[in-house]
Amino acid sequence: MSHPMSMADLTTIKDLKAAGVLVDVEERHVPGKAFVFVCGDGDRHEQIQYLQRLMSRRKMNAPVTPHLFCWNGGPLLLASGFRDQPGREFAYRQFAAAVELKPHINAVILQGHGICGAAHQAGASLIVTLRLLKQAMSELSGFIRRERLGSVTSMLGLFHLDYGNGHMRTYRFNADRLE
């Protein structure tokens, strides 16, 4: 189900871009191999395809390896502030198992999107969705340290926006700039 952006959402996006929270994503930011947390919403399949194109451009002569974790809410499920504790525990166990199986993958991409149906259903505004994505990134970093998953050395936050009428854009999410 698609949830249209409000005028307040569009103003928020403009402010976030001006503050450097949402910045243009460049190919150099995107690794060719990564554990990718993304929403499983089939209406958002183009965000996964776009990400895979960015990954393949980065590694022209090397295999591209997106190890996908897709479910309702995508990376938001990793945040303790989101609503599904049993799902979160499963997600972390699956991630740890994947790192063990794929030690050659050293990056993680957490790609949220707006307006996310799972976030909308939980009453999360666009800015709250971004705060949950920031929390997910922080908590996943802590999990990586605690579990000594040393093969994972980098993390990238992305945020995909559907402005409506076929206009979409993916930004790099600079979580450090979000207040």
pLDDT digits (tens, 9 = 90+) for 53-75: 888 875 566 777 889 999 888 89
Do 72 and 119 touch, CB atoms closer than 8 A?
A: no
Do 106 and 152 touch, CB atoms closer than 8 A?
A: yes
Selected residue with higher pLDDT from 157 and 42: 157
Is the pLDDT assigned to residue 177 strictly greater than 50?
yes
Question: If you average pLDDT over residues 146-165, what whole number do you get?
Answer: 92
Task: Specify the pLDDT at position 35.
Answer: 96
Is the pLDDT assigned to residue 30 strictly greater than 50?
yes
CATH 2.60.40 fits 7-12+32-116+128-177, yes or no: no
Is the pLDDT assigned to residue 19 strictly greater than 50?
yes
Q: Provide the pLDDT confidence category of residue 1 given band limits of 50, 70 and 90.
A: very low
Q: Provide the pLDDT confidence category of residue 137 given band limits of 50, 70 and 90.
A: very high
Helix (H) or strand (E) holding 69: strand 65-71
Helix (H) or strand (E) holding 85: helix 85-101
Domain boundaries, the chain: 7-12+32-116+128-177
With a pLDDT cut of 70, the percent of the chain lying above it is 94
Task: Specify the pLDDT at position 83.
Answer: 83
pLDDT tens for residues 91-107? 999 999 999 999 999 99
Is the pLDDT assigned to residue 121 strictly greater than 60?
yes
Cα separation, 122 vs 116, whole angstroms: 10
Beta bridge partners of 107: 154
